[in-house]
Amino acid sequence: MLYGIFFVIGGLALAGLDQLLKLWATASLLPVGQAPLIPGFIELQYVLNDGMAFSMLSGRRGLLIGVTSVVLLVVAVYLLIRPLPRLERVTWMLILGGGLGNLIDRIRTGVVVDYLNFQFIDFPVFNFADICVCTGVGLLVLSLLLEMRKEHRTPASGDGQSNADA
């Protein structure tokens, strides 16, 4: 449980960093709208989003707050009570931190501050919390695939052959 507390605190720290970045984006970008970061590649653009990914469920603030709160509570409890491999703990910490960062925005103002815009593709503007959640989900998929691979390679009998060789 002590190890789990460390990762919950890590998630809280990520949410705190996300909030600081959004305060900076609001103070710096709101007056100008946008500013190049790497010209032709990525720009900083101030956007308010009242939905979730790709503006899905726009205008459904109560639903987004309720579902996100329940999911994040489950993730925090899972981190605290379940023994997990380190990679899986990191994935849940990232998901917790990113989800909490955007949840704070939804509760406080009703909208999420986004500020990163890829210019070379048609992609929604996003923020640090979104990066945390997406990276966490990607690492979770990787972790699960590695676990499945490990289980698949476990010898079926004492003859040293893996299941794939049998």
Residues tagged active-site: 114, 130
Calpha distance 100→15 (Å, rounded): 6
Residue type (1 letter), 19: Q
Cα 82 off chain centre by: 20
97 is written with which tokens? 């931190």
Q: How many CB atoms lie within 10 A of CB 83?
A: 9
The secondary structure element, H or E, covering residue 115 is strand 112-118
DSSP-derived letter for residue 59 is T
